[in-house]
Amino acid sequence: MTDRQNRQNRPKKLPALVVQKYGGSSVATSEKIKNVALRIKNRLEAGAPGGSKMAVVVSAMGKTTDGLIALAKEVSPSPPPREMDMLLATGEQVSAALLAMALRDAGVAATSRNAFQLGIETSGDHSNARIQDIDLSLLQRSFQENSVVVITGFQGVTPEGDLTTLGRGGSDTSAVAVAAKAVSAGIDAVCEIYSDVPGIFTCDPNKVPGARKLDYITYEEMLELASLGAKVLHMRSVELARKYGVTLYCASTFSEERGTYVVKELPEWLESPVVTGVTVARNQMKFVVKRIPGDGDVLCGIFHALALAGVNLDMISTAEDGDMSFLTFTALDGDAEAVVNAVSGCMNEKGLTGWAIEPGIPVTKVSAVGDGMNAATGVAGRVFAALRSLEVTIRGISTSDINISVLVDDERADEAVAALAKEFQLTTTDPQYAPLHTARTP
Amino acid sequence: MTDRQNRQNRPKKLPALVVQKYGGSSVATSEKIKNVALRIKNRLEAGAPGGSKMAVVVSAMGKTTDGLIALAKEVSPSPPPREMDMLLATGEQVSAALLAMALRDAGVAATSRNAFQLGIETSGDHSNARIQDIDLSLLQRSFQENSVVVITGFQGVTPEGDLTTLGRGGSDTSAVAVAAKAVSAGIDAVCEIYSDVPGIFTCDPNKVPGARKLDYITYEEMLELASLGAKVLHMRSVELARKYGVTLYCASTFSEERGTYVVKELPEWLESPVVTGVTVARNQMKFVVKRIPGDGDVLCGIFHALALAGVNLDMISTAEDGDMSFLTFTALDGDAEAVVNAVSGCMNEKGLTGWAIEPGIPVTKVSAVGDGMNAATGVAGRVFAALRSLEVTIRGISTSDINISVLVDDERADEAVAALAKEFQLTTTDPQYAPLHTARTP
């Protein structure tokens, strides 16, 4: 065989790929599934960039997963994780099959594929597995006779053939993984995440009147927002998108409204804002451990005891007074008893006296996030000034390159968010409104 | 490597295997699933013959399959069969996972396996696929760490990796196929089918007071009963069991009552009865086509036209009067219009006149079935005498080696069944009661 023939016989490169993901509320009923099918058809007819192939990842219909979990609990108080995954994986298979039916009915050549059929290989951590590979050739083969391949999100298969699930928000991760695998094979792929939320907002639109939807946000900013409690995108999916440079697009299933792009860097024609968004984490509890020896040994012991007790710490800080230290941190309010027990146990074990732990104080964490923060001076000052004008007590503070978080009393949290939104011009109702992340006419 | 080592390294032979199948009504609720788990546990502890491994095949919970079909129809008036199978296969995966959970909870080492995980290979006839192979080594591997493997019934996978379903009663076929595969590999396996029916009866126990449950029935008799409308076992599963010599046992999930064995030959210590059971097929319509040319050409044309119209014929007979013939047959009453149209079309095409078709007469087919029939003389005479004493008109008759069927008017069917049950001593209330198929003390 000549070289030329060899080249001709190579498998064809996949066309540019649009990966879409529809969440549970987008496919909650047969009517909604038919609506999604029409959206996909319209998108195909409008022409996907560089080709006409779409991979559509679906979650289970509406509350299906919750229903299956309840059924499992009826059968066994602590169902084995392997069987739980076997059970839950059916939810996505139902919605994938139904969406493929609706697409066929709308005249679109579509087929459904589950994790076995696409070789979505994961680790064996049942209920929280990580995707390790996707067999792109199987996807490619499915596209030979189909324009649309509907993929069961949230699930994978271990090398031993056991079904796994990826944990909450796992369908986002499935979608980004398909796009990432394509991108790393040199295929131009984008990933669109559709839900009942029309995009990423500067603040929670249910809490802050006039919260603006962003046209663009960077991966870094999105990761901060997700870690601080914003629920539009799952953190793992954003991390994966950042790692492989997959452009994400978040928009509503139920409107044609423009959504938000999650990208590596803002387009050049966008003026970078100092603060992109303000977010809120409730149900926090602040603890102070007083008068402990200032050497690292005791601190180390406390952190170890808390980790063993399964307590996640946040907003950790220390202060010193002579030989003595004060340790401050927050934890989820459900962990209050575990915190006191773990710290007391540690101190007693070391035979220490004279120390004390303040019972937890309920607080809310309010965070301002923005890529522009590390370049701009005086951001912390503006945060404090805005809160001081309200006479809001700041019960703690932490900062990173793109994030300033403060702890405030629960009942003052909404005012604090509003003050920061105003200070950083994040709402459209603000008289100083400037469309910071909103695209100029290109 | 020496021969001796070679032998030692060979995979171990599977232990003797008990295959159980639980139908949809047996696993309809979480409570019922827990009940099934306890039954399996008790069976394991009592000791399965020659070993302690059980394969348990399950159907979808209760009306799950019907619910999924309704959902599909909401999405598409004619869902593609491939997607339908993808959808329906989830039902068995749900019940298999739940039963494995319940077993684990009861302290039994159990795992669920779907069609992908056991290599249940089928033809590609979606919604009516035939099992072509089962990978016994995968089942064997699942038994390494488990006493019980819970298997999704009703489904398989094509060599191309598409999910298929086996049609109504498919879970029976799945169970028998697992046992048959084991038997053909030299493993001693039995297959137990559990449902809400406690066994095979001489007559429909809901219609004939005193209908007796059989201890034994032959494959042949069971096939006749199934083809005549008895619903305890699916015909395909009985055929498969006969082909591979798998002993079947049918009993109730909800009691400890002894069920019925389906076997090749009755045990020697059983006296073979003339008639084993009486069964009934309703919704039949009898047609007579009069005065057609006696040569085979026209008959052939009529049968061809009816086959094209999708009409299933039964009880076909012909009579001759000079050069003219009369053709009699039955069809399902829903096919009445199709029958008249097909026959008329055929006759018009051939340009025939003078013929006529009687509009269908509603009839019921009553059949007496028994392996002993072909050896015993006078059975037909006893059938006619029993019916004549009631003054029941016999509107048609057909016989085979182990079956005599008569057509009677719908409203006389129950009396006809009772008369035959009495004549052939099939009920326990009969003064002449003889326990024909009931075991003597061995």
Residues A232 and A301 in one domain: no
Claim to verify: residue B84 and residue B194 sit in the same structural domain: yes
Q: Which amino acid is at A277?
A: G
pLDDT of residue B7: 37
Residue A280's contacts (CB-CB under 8 Å, 6 or more residues apart) are: A204, A207, A228, A229, A364, A365, A366, A367, A413, A417
Which of B27, B87, B152 is the best mutation test for A, with the most CBs of A within 10 A? B87
Report yes or no: A116 at the B interface, CB cutoff 8 Å.
yes
Q: Is residue B8 part of a domain?
A: no
pLDDT at A211: 84
Q: Which residue has the higher pLDDT, B412 or A205?
A: B412
Q: Does A104 touch chain B (CB under 8 A)?
A: yes
Q: Are residues B132 and B187 in the same domain?
A: yes
Chain A touched by B100 (CB under 8 Å): yes
Q: Are residues A232 and A285 in the same domain?
A: no
Residue B428 has pLDDT above 50, yes or no: yes
Q: How many Å apart are CA A33 and CA A41, to the nearest integer?
A: 12
Section A162-176 average pLDDT:
93
Q: A68 at the B interface (CB within 8 A)?
A: yes
Q: Are residues B115 and B257 in the same domain?
A: yes
Cα(A57)–Cα(A93) distance, rounded to whole angstroms?
A: 11
The whole-number pLDDT of residue B230 equals 62
Q: What is the pLDDT of residue A272?
A: 65
Phi and psi torsions of A227, nearest 5°: -70, -25
- Residue B133 in any domain: the answer is yes
Q: Is residue B159 part of a domain?
A: yes
**Domain hosting residue A406, numbered range:** 277-423
Residue pointed to by tokens 């370049």: A375
Nearest residue in chain A measured CA to CA from B117 = A161
The shortest C-alpha distance from A89 to chain B (Å) reads 9
What chain B residue is nearest to A31 in terms of C-alpha separation?
A: B75
B439 assigned to some structural domain:
no
B123 vs A425, residue with greater confidence? B123
What is the nearest CA distance from A120 to chain B, expressed in angstroms?
14
Model confidence pLDDT, tens digit, residues A63-108: 999 999 999 999 999 999 999 999 999 999 999 999 999 999 999 9
Look at residue B113 and tell me whether its pLDDT is greater than 50: yes
Cα-based torsion angle of the residue sequence A336, A339, A343, A348 in order, rounded to the nearest 10 degrees: 70
SS3 B374: helix
Interface test with B, best of A85, A87, A141, A163 (most B CBs within 10 A): A87
pLDDT value for B437: 34
B 34-53: CB under 8 A from A = 34
pLDDT in tens, A317-370: 887 777 788 888 999 988 999 999 999 999 999 888 889 998 888 999 998 888
Q: Which residues make beta-bridge pairs with A397?
A: A406
The answer to whether residue B282 scores a pLDDT higher than 50 is: yes
Interchain pair A90, B94: CB under 8 A: yes
CB A18 within 8 A of CB A81: no
> Which residue in B82, B112, B162 is closest to A83 by CB distance?
B112
Yes or no, beta carbons of A80 and B98 under 8 Å apart = no
CA distance A200 to A212: 9
* Same domain as A230, residue A129: yes
The DSSP call for residue B292 is E
What's the N-to-C CA distance of chain A in angstroms?
A: 51
Cβ-based burial of A422 (10 A; exposed 0-12, middle 13-18, buried ≥19): middle
CA B62 to chain centre: 19
pLDDT reported for residue B14: 38
**Separation in Å, CA of A386 to nearest CA in chain B:** 53
Task: Tell whether the model's pLDDT for residue A5 goes beyond 70.
Answer: no
Q: Which of B340, B337, B375 is nearest to B357 (CA)?
A: B340
* B79 → chain A, closest CA residue: A101
A157-166, A255-264, A427-436, B332-341: segment of lowest average pLDDT? A427-436
- Sort B43 into a burial class: Cβ within 10 Å, 0-12 / 13-18 / 19+: middle
Please report residues of A whose CB lies closer than 8 A to that of B68: 94
| Contacts of residue A75, Cβ cutoff 8 Å, sequence gap at least 6 | B30, B33, B34, B98, B101, B102, B105
Residues B31 and B68 in one domain: yes
Whether B87 sits inside 8 A of A97 (CB atoms) is yes
**A256 & A287 share domain:** no
Give kind and range of the element (H or E) at residue B251.
strand B248-252
Question: Rounded to the nearest 10 degrees, how much is the dihedral formed by the CA atoms of A221, A223, A227, A233?
Answer: 110
Q: How many CB pairs under 8 A join A and B?
A: 115
Instruction: Name the residue in chain B with its Cα closest to that of A37.
Output: B75
- Asked whether residue A226 is assigned to any structural domain, the reply reads yes
Domains: count for chain B: 2
Residues A105, B77: C-beta atoms closer than 8 Å: yes
User: In this structure, what CATH number is given to the domain that contains residue A329?
Assistant: 3.30.2130.10
Note whether B320 and B419 are same-domain residues: yes
pLDDT tens for each residue of B151-206: 999 999 999 999 999 987 899 999 999 999 999 998 888 899 999 888 888 888 87
Q: Which residues of B176-207 are buried (b: 16+ CB within 10 A; e: fewer)?
A: bbbbbbbbeeebebbbbbbbebbbbbbbbbee
Spatial separation of the C-alpha atoms in residues A341 and A357, rounded to whole Å: 10
Retrieve residue B155's tokens: 């489904």
Domain identity same for B61 and B167:
yes
Q: Are residues B34 and A90, on separate chains, in Cβ contact within 8 Å? A: no
The reply to whether B268 falls in a domain is no
CB contact under 8 A, B87 and A72: no
**A308 Cα to chain B: minimum distance (Å):** 27
Chain B nearest-CA distance from A439, in A, is 39
Chain A residue numbers with beta carbons less than 8 Å from the beta carbon of B78 are 105
> With an 8 Å Cβ cutoff, is A137 touching chain B?
no
Q: Say yes or no: B124 and B70 in one domain.
A: yes
Cross-sheet strand order for the sheet of A356-369: A314-321, A324-332, A277-293, A356-369, A403-409, A396-400
Residues of A in contact with B34 (CB under 8 A): 75
Please check whether residue B71 touches A, CB under 8 A.
Answer: yes
Q: Is A76 on the interface with B (CB under 8 A)?
A: yes
Is the model more confident about A161 or about A399? Answer: A161
CB contact under 8 A, B86 and A100: yes
**Which among A213, A236, A263 is the end of a domain?**
A263
Any CB–CB contact under 8 A between B82 and chain A? Answer: yes
Contact between chains at A117 and B161 (C-beta distance less than 8 A): yes
Q: With the C-alpha atoms ordered A56, A62, A64, A69, is the resulting torsion angle positive or negative?
A: positive
**Same domain, residue pair A45 and A135:** yes
* pLDDT at residue A437, as a whole number: 34
Q: Which of A263, A296, A319 is the last residue of a domain?
A: A263
Residue A133 pairs in a beta bridge with A121
Query: Residue B229 — very low, low, confident or very high, per pLDDT cuts 50/70/90?
Result: low
Task: Find the range with the poorest average confidence among A187-201, B220-234, B381-395.
Answer: B220-234
| Strand pairing report for A131-133 and A121-122 | antiparallel
Parallel, antiparallel, or unpaired: how do β-strands A314-321 and A110-113 relate? Answer: unpaired
Mean pLDDT score of chain A, rounded to an integer? Answer: 85
| Paired tokens of B407 | 């057509």
Select from A238, A263, A288 the last residue of a domain: A263
Query: In sequence order, what are the residues at sequence separation of 6 or more whose Cβ sits closer than 8 angstroms to the Cβ of residue A8?
Result: none
> Would you say residue A272 lies in a domain?
no
Which candidate in B30, B34, B75 is best for mutational testing of the A interface (most A CBs within 10 A)? B75
Q: Is B366 left (phi over 0), alpha (psi -120 to 50) or beta?
A: beta
Q: What are phi and psi of A328, to 5 degrees?
A: -120, 140
Burial class from Cβ neighbours inside 10 Å (0-12, 13-18, 19+) for residue B427 reads buried
Closest C-alpha among A81, A82, A88 to residue A63: A88
CATH code for the domain in which residue A197 is found: 3.40.1160.10
pLDDT tens-digit map of A33-68 = 999 999 999 888 876 554 578 999 999 999 999 999
Residue B385's contacts (CB-CB under 8 Å, 6 or more residues apart) are B423
Beta strand residue intervals within A148-240, DSSP E: 148-152, 155-157, 163-165, 189-195, 216-218
Task: For chain B, positions 17-36, list CB contacts with chain A under 8 A.
Answer: 30, 33-34
Assigned domain for A376 exists: yes
Q: Does A161 touch chain B (CB under 8 A)?
A: yes
User: B378: Cβ–Cβ under 8 A, 6 or more apart, which residues?
Assistant: none
